[in-house]
Amino acid sequence: MGRDTIADIITSIRNADMHRKGTVRIASTNITENIVKILLREGFLENVRKHRENSKDFLVLTLQHRRNRKGPYKTILNLKRISRPGLRIYSNYQRIPRILGGMGIVILSTSRGIMTDREARLEGIGGEILSYIW
């Protein structure tokens, strides 16, 4: 049985954010690179760099954290995996959900690549709903 790389990167980022880690190292694949580009473009990550170790490529992600450390710590990044290998969830462009009234994003895998819900609505295409991020 194969690994679910999308769930792995979502879990790694979520765990690092909960434990106030500054960086996360994840395996580099085409899907993970596209998802990380979206997270960087939308402002959920500060920086991304490629790292090669023992002929394997990794992505080192620098997380965006609050600068104010007073008071109880609340995570600023919420990620949820929607479609999974056992249950695929598809949507046309009219029924793509809005997260927090448009404050969050939905990451979709479409016939034109991995994109956000706003881009998919503009192009008028639907696809597989990979995750929600808010």
The pLDDT-based confidence of 72 (bands split at 50, 70, 90) is low
Query: Whole domain around residue 43: which residue ranges?
Result: 5-67+76-133
Q: Provide long-range contacts, Cβ within 8 A and 24+ apart, for 31-34.
A: 31/5, 31/6, 31/114, 32/5, 32/6, 32/59, 33/59, 34/113, 34/114
User: Percentage of residues in the chain with pLDDT exceeding 90?
Assistant: 79
Tell me: the pLDDT tens digits for 6-26?
A: 999 999 999 998 888 889 999
The pLDDT-based confidence of 77 (bands split at 50, 70, 90) is confident
Cα–Cα dist 10/69, whole Å: 24
Q: What is the CATH number of the domain that holds 58?
A: 3.30.1370.30
**pLDDT attached to residue 66:** 57
Tell me the average pLDDT across 93-108: 94
Number of domains in the chain: 1
34 φ, ψ to 5°?
A: -65, -40
Whether the per-residue pLDDT at 1 is higher than 70: the answer is no
More confident residue, 19 or 60: 60
